[in-house]
Amino acid sequence: MNKLAFIIDDSAVNIAVARLLLRRLGWIVEDFSSAIPMLARLEEVQPAFMLLDISMPDLGGEEACKRIRSNPAFDPVRVIAYTAHAMETERQRYLSGGFDCVITKPITIAALQEAVGHAPKD
């Protein structure tokens, strides 16, 4: 069973909080401060899901999601928008742009449980 989760965020604090909460839910976590190295890693290993920050300086989450969704090999990966920008119009844009769901910052364990649940048991 796939227990791997990716966190992609340019904020070390946001990564640390999400990592802590996901580990409490039993997930194995790899984190990236940029979408560019995450896309390279995705060619090697696919997580069950990823938390993908929308606003990043080098490659934003929306563009990264488009690149992921353009490759059918990555179809099984759930891509979750992880953002502070969650007005209803933005949420709808993210969902129509290929994201599976949206989690707003600050992240909570309840939001993660609802979106991804506990990691599967062996």
Amino acid at 66: K
Give me the helices (H) in the chain, please: 12-24, 35-42, 61-69, 88-96, 109-115
Right CATH for 4-115 from 3.30.1330.60, 3.40.50.2300, 3.40.50.300, 3.30.420.130 = 3.40.50.2300
What is the token pair recorded at 60? 């934003």
How far is Cα 29 from Cα 14, in angstroms, rounded to an integer? 13
- pLDDT in tens for each of the 122 residues of the chain? 899 999 999 999 999 999 999 999 999 999 999 999 999 999 999 999 999 999 998 999 999 999 999 999 999 999 999 998 779 999 999 999 999 999 999 999 999 999 999 999 87
87 contacts: CB under 8 Å, gap ≥ 6? none
